[in-house]
Amino acid sequence: MITGNYYEEQNRVISIKEVRNHVFSVWLESDKIAETSVAGQFINVQVGDSEFIEPVLRRPFAIASVEGKKYEIIFHEVGRGTEMLKKLLQPGKFASVLGPLGNGFDLKGSDKEKLLIAGGLGIAPIKRLMEKYISMGIKTTVIWGNRDKSDFFDLDYYMNQDIMLFISSDNGSIGFEGNVLEMLQSEIRNSRIETMDKYDIYAVGPTPMMRGVAEYLLSEGFSCQVSLETPMACGIGVCQGCAVDKRKEPGYLLVCKDGPVFDATDVKF
């Protein structure tokens, strides 16, 4: 797992686009954050500016893509913090950002293909990982699942990448009918996805989805890397507010500092 220095910067907002209802893709310009980040790391952004006193806390978001000094976050407006963020992140404005934070994905070499599994907005860190493996010329398969067809965005972008892409929706309105785990199991049965030991596997999404995928893989004798989301305050290992239990022994790990990426064999989640 990769970790390094982080910076506190004022990052200029380049663009904000509503990619689907209440989900926004934002490009920001950084001094060092983009260039020093690795896939799986995140930023912690102050959601209010000087006009707003509350909420004082920052909010964490995965770095979804990087181009030179520019980087993308994709965020879902789910509460007060992200509602304020949407208002703050207007082109030309500046946001106070801490990053890059946490440990990124453990990048593996070309001896195995890569299988990246995203549920919902888990596609944000998976996008960065996918782009990295494409740039390394490594054969990559992406499974992306959502509840409904309307939850997907930028599908043209993913369909035009040099990857094998599988889509699932819980209600069958697009792609495979079922969740990503059911799709994975189905694709293994019909051999479009071959034996699991051919792949390095990564899964990011809502906790029940990651748990389901991880427990299935562990029961079959495999593992995967997961990127956990817990409520966070400091984001830098000080407040202990993001602890998760270790799987094999007593004790805990901090999602912000020891993660957010973990091997599924190391954490209970």
Q: Return residues touching ligand FES (CB under 6 A).
A: 232-235, 237-242, 254, 256
Binding characters for ligand FAD, 124-143, by CB under 6 A (x = yes)? x-------------------
Residue nearest to ligand FAD (CB): 79
Minimum distance from residue 230 beta carbon to ligand FES (Å): 8
Cβ(93)–Cβ(49) under 8 Å? yes
Cβ closest to ligand FAD, residue 82 vs residue 186: 82
Minimum distance from residue 231 beta carbon to ligand FES (Å): 8
Q: How many CA atoms lie within 13 A of 13 on its CB side?
A: 20
Cβ closest to ligand FAD, residue 75 vs residue 152: 75
Cβ closest to ligand FES, residue 158 vs residue 262: 262
Amino acid of residue 259: G
Q: Which residues contact 191 (CB under 8 A, 6 or more apart)?
A: none
Cβ closest to ligand FAD, residue 64 vs residue 201: 64
Please report, as residue ranges, which positions from 221 to 260 form the binding site for ligand FAD (by CB under 6 A): 229-232, 260
129 SS3 class: helix
Task: Pinpoint the alpha helices (H) of 16-142.
Answer: 33-36, 80-88, 123-135
Task: Pinpoint the alpha helices (H) of the chain.
Answer: 33-36, 80-88, 123-135, 155-159, 180-189, 207-219
Q: Which residues bind ligand FAD (CB under 6 A)?
A: 42, 59-62, 73-76, 78-82, 121, 124, 229-232, 260
